[in-house]
Every structure is written in structure tokens, then in C-alpha cells.
Amino acid sequence: MKYILFGFLAIFSVKLSAQQKQFSKDDNGKFIYYQVVDSQLVSKDTLLQRARSFVNVVYKKSMKPEGSTDSSVLAKGTMVIDKTILVASHPSGEVSYNFVFEARQGKYRFWLTDMLFIPYQRDRYGNFVPATTIGVPLERTPGKLGAGAWKDILNSTYNKVEKFGDEFKKYLATNRVEKTKKNAETISTKKW
């Protein structure tokens, strides 16, 4: 009886681990996070304006605009990947990526690709800093010793990218108007 119970437990745990979300691969064999969104209510120009605002205002610390056309926005960005041990967490590295947004009338698409992982290490002041300037592609197959840690990095990256995608879709769907600074009223102390 306990062998049957052990067998069911093993099969169940294998099925749970197989259901974790993974990146798709593009034509070149690189990981890609690709979304096509139907947006009939928002015009193409408004979508482009909101996408530029997202890159230039919301993510201005972690994204750098690379180019823009009448129907697309290109940017490069980085996101910090955290390593969590029980309750405490610390950054284990950062992932740099290319962000592409394209809009048409009634729909838009965006994708993140060319993801490179740069590990972090502590410097002499206790800060986490990049250990190297050369990134490792996420498509790399790790050796036996680092397979578990690499799997954790992939899962954390996918969760962060998925959260980024949800935030981007929400930002494009909402009607946010950029606040303009009002001219400050000048006060004259010469007349009473």
C-alpha cells in the first residue's frame, strides 16, 4: 500500500513541476515573451503616446529608449532578479532585455527578447553589484551543478517579465493624462 501511495506522490510532484510556465522561443532560438492585445477602444496614436510615456516616465530608471517610428517603440531595459530564502530576499542578478512595441488600428503587440543574465556579488561595502559586464543568455543549458540555481533564475525572470507585461497592458488600457506643470503665480512685494 505504501508503494502505491509513494508512486502517486511521485507522479503528482512530476506533474506539478512540469506545469511551471516557461518562455517560448523565437525563430532564432532565443527566449521571447510575446503578447498580441486587441484594443478596439483606443486609437493607434494614443497607444503609441502611452507606450512612449511608459518607457520615458514610468520605467525611466530601468529602460532606455532606443528608437521610435510612427507605429513602433524600441527600448533596452534591465530588471533585477531576487533570490528569496525563507522570508529574506536579496538580488541575485539582473536581466537585460530588448523591448519592442508595435501598434496598428485596433490592436498592438509587444515582446521582450535577447535576455542576458548578469550575476551580482557583494562588494566590500556590502552592496550588491554586477560581478561582470558580460551577460549570459537565458537560453544557455547549465551544467549539472548549476541546474537548480539556473531553473530558479528562469522562474524568477519569467514571473518578473509576466508582471511587467501585465503592468504594461494595464497602463495602455487606462486613460492617464500627463500632468502639466502650472506656471507659478509671481508675487510682487513692491505693491501692497
Residue-level pLDDT, tens digit, the chain, 192 residues:
566 655 555 555 544 454 567 888 888 889 999 999 998 888 889 999 999 999 999 988 999 999 888 889 999 999 999 887 767 788 889 999 999 999 998 899 999 999 999 999 999 998 999 998 898 999 988 888 888 888 988 999 999 999 999 999 999 988 765 554 555 677 767 776
Q: What is the model's pLDDT at position 1?
A: 58
- DSSP secondary structure, the chain, as one string: -HHHHHHHHHHHHHHHHHTS---EE-TTS-EEEEEEEE-SSS-HHHHHHHHHHIIIIITTTTEEEEEE-SSEEEEEEEEEEEEEETTEEEEEEEEEEEEEEEEETTEEEEEEEEEEEEEEEE-TTS-EEES-SS-EETTPPP-TTTHHHHHHHHHHHHHHHHHHHHHHHHHHHS---PPPPPPPPP--SS--
Q: What is the model's pLDDT at position 76?
A: 95
CATH tag, 22-173: 3.30.530.80
Q: What is the model's pLDDT at position 181?
A: 52
Q: What is the model's pLDDT at position 19?
A: 53
Q: What is the model's pLDDT at position 18?
A: 46
Instruction: Name the residue ranges covered by the structural domains of the chain.
Output: 22-173
pTM, to two decimals = 0.76
